[in-house]
Amino acid sequence: MTDTNTQSDTVGTTEAAFLLNISTARLRLLLRQGRLKGAKKVKRFWVIPLNRRGMPEITPGRRGPQGTWNKGFRTGNTFIHVL
Protein backbone atom coordinates (compact mmCIF):
# COMPACT_ATOMS: atom_id res chain seq x y z
CA MET A 1 0.00 0.00 0.00
CA THR A 2 1.39 3.40 -0.93
CA ASP A 3 1.03 6.67 0.92
CA THR A 4 -1.25 8.99 -1.07
CA ASN A 5 -0.20 12.15 0.79
CA THR A 6 2.55 14.07 -0.91
CA GLN A 7 4.41 17.08 0.39
CA SER A 8 2.02 19.46 -1.44
CA ASP A 9 -1.01 17.90 0.31
CA THR A 10 0.12 19.22 3.69
CA VAL A 11 0.97 22.63 5.11
CA GLY A 12 2.32 24.09 8.33
CA THR A 13 0.56 26.36 10.80
CA THR A 14 1.45 29.68 9.16
CA GLU A 15 0.21 28.68 5.71
CA ALA A 16 -2.92 26.99 7.11
CA ALA A 17 -3.78 30.15 9.08
CA PHE A 18 -3.34 32.19 5.90
CA LEU A 19 -5.61 29.86 3.93
CA LEU A 20 -8.32 30.00 6.61
CA ASN A 21 -7.92 33.76 7.10
CA ILE A 22 -7.38 33.40 10.86
CA SER A 23 -4.44 34.18 13.14
CA THR A 24 -1.79 31.58 13.89
CA ALA A 25 -2.71 31.79 17.59
CA ARG A 26 -6.32 30.85 16.78
CA LEU A 27 -5.11 27.99 14.59
CA ARG A 28 -2.87 26.68 17.38
CA LEU A 29 -5.87 26.77 19.74
CA LEU A 30 -7.90 24.72 17.24
CA LEU A 31 -5.00 22.27 16.96
CA ARG A 32 -4.80 21.86 20.75
CA GLN A 33 -8.55 21.20 20.81
CA GLY A 34 -8.11 18.51 18.12
CA ARG A 35 -10.47 20.24 15.69
CA LEU A 36 -8.36 20.01 12.51
CA LYS A 37 -8.98 16.73 10.69
CA GLY A 38 -5.86 14.65 10.18
CA ALA A 39 -3.46 17.14 11.77
CA LYS A 40 -0.52 15.58 13.56
CA LYS A 41 2.57 16.83 15.30
CA VAL A 42 5.90 15.73 13.84
CA LYS A 43 8.62 16.52 16.36
CA ARG A 44 7.97 20.22 17.11
CA PHE A 45 5.91 21.07 14.02
CA TRP A 46 2.28 20.55 13.05
CA VAL A 47 1.54 18.89 9.71
CA ILE A 48 -1.94 19.82 8.48
CA PRO A 49 -3.48 17.96 5.51
CA LEU A 50 -5.49 19.80 2.85
CA ASN A 51 -8.81 18.61 1.43
CA ARG A 52 -9.62 18.39 -2.29
CA ARG A 53 -10.33 22.14 -2.43
CA GLY A 54 -6.89 22.92 -1.01
CA MET A 55 -8.14 24.00 2.43
CA PRO A 56 -7.61 22.55 5.92
CA GLU A 57 -10.76 20.94 7.36
CA ILE A 58 -12.02 22.15 10.74
CA THR A 59 -14.62 20.17 12.64
CA PRO A 60 -17.35 22.37 14.14
CA GLY A 61 -17.36 23.03 17.87
CA ARG A 62 -20.10 21.76 20.13
CA ARG A 63 -20.97 25.09 21.72
CA GLY A 64 -21.20 28.76 20.83
CA PRO A 65 -21.79 30.52 17.52
CA GLN A 66 -20.75 29.01 14.20
CA GLY A 67 -17.23 29.85 13.01
CA THR A 68 -16.82 32.69 10.52
CA TRP A 69 -13.44 31.78 9.04
CA ASN A 70 -12.97 31.64 5.33
CA LYS A 71 -14.35 28.34 4.01
CA GLY A 72 -14.08 29.16 0.31
CA PHE A 73 -11.45 28.21 -2.22
CA ARG A 74 -8.46 30.55 -2.34
CA THR A 75 -7.50 31.10 -5.97
CA GLY A 76 -3.97 32.27 -5.30
CA ASN A 77 -1.92 35.21 -4.20
CA THR A 78 -2.45 38.63 -5.72
CA PHE A 79 0.69 40.29 -7.01
CA ILE A 80 1.07 43.99 -7.78
CA HIS A 81 3.83 44.73 -10.26
CA VAL A 82 5.39 48.17 -9.93
CA LEU A 83 7.42 49.44 -12.84
Domain holding 25, by residue range, is 7-49
Number of domains within the chain: 1
- Domain-located, residue 22: yes
| Burial track 45-66 (b if 16+ CB lie within 10 A, e otherwise) | ebbbbbeeeebbebeeeeeeee
Is 20 a member of any domain? yes
Does a structural domain hold residue 44? yes
| pLDDT, mean of residues 2-25 | 80
Kindly state whether residue 41 falls inside one of the protein's structural domains.
yes
Q: Taking the C-alpha atoms of 5, 8, 11 and 15 in order, what is their torsion angle to the nearest 10 degrees?
A: -160
Residue 42 in any domain: the answer is yes
Cα gap 54→57, rounded to integer Å: 9
In the three-class reduction of DSSP (H, G, I as helix; E, B as strand; rest coil), residue 36 is classed as strand
Which pLDDT score, from 0 to 100, does residue 1 have? 40
Give the model's pLDDT for residue 63: 82
Residue at 11 is within a domain? yes
The pTM for the full model equals 0.67
pLDDT band at 28 (very low <50, low <70, confident <90, very high): very high
Q: Is residue 65 part of a domain?
A: no
Report yes or no: 56 and 35 within 8 Å, Cβ to Cβ: no
